[in-house]
């Protein structure tokens, strides 16, 4: 199964003592392809830099890039226009812009979204994006 993977899944996977490390690892193992928007890749690097430091962030990024399941996808102008229109139309903070871009890519590619972000899970449902809800699938 392919899914669009949100940055928090990779971050939880990278940090062994994180709250959802085991679940993130399990979901990534079960997926056949990790569809990863370039924006998500950037978010992972930035988050890991803050949490683990430069060297560990770089190491994880290079491992991720070499992984056979990773498929990087670009963000299109269409995705950006949709995301901006959603932010404007909903009157929400631009802090949620990245999430809207991720939703736009999932919508365009007609892929389920894997995320641990409860707010993004809720937005996805309202945007007709299928979700893999780790809170419902956890053992």
List phi, psi (to 5°) of 92: -95, 165
Which residue range is the domain that position 33 belongs to? 2-133
Q: What is the CATH number of the domain that holds 119?
A: 3.40.50.1010
123 three-state secondary structure: helix
95 in any annotated domain: yes
Do 8 and 117 contact (CB within 8 A), yes or no? yes
pLDDT in tens, 19-46: 999 999 999 999 999 999 999 999 999 9
**Residue 85 clears pLDDT 90, i.e. is over it:** yes
> pTM for the whole thing?
0.94
């Amino acid at each position: 199964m392919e899914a669009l993977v949100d940055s928090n899944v990779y971050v939880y996977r990278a940090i062994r003592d994180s709250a959802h490390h085991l679940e993130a690892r399990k979901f990534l193992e079960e997926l056949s392809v990790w569809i990863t928007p370039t924006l998500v890749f950037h978010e992972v690097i930035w988050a890991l830099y803050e949490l683990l430091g430069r060297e560990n962030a770089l190491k994880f990024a290079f491992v991720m890039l070499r992984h056979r399941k990773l498929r990087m996808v670009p963000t299109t102008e269409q995705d950006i226009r949709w995301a901006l229109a959603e932010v404007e139309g909903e009157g929400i903070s631009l802090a949620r812009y990245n999430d809207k871009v991720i939703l736009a890519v999932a919508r365009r590619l007609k892929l389920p979204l894997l995320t641990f972000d409860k707010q993004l899970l809720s937005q996805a449902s309202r945007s007709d994006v299928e979700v893999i809800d780790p809170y419902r699938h956890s053992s």
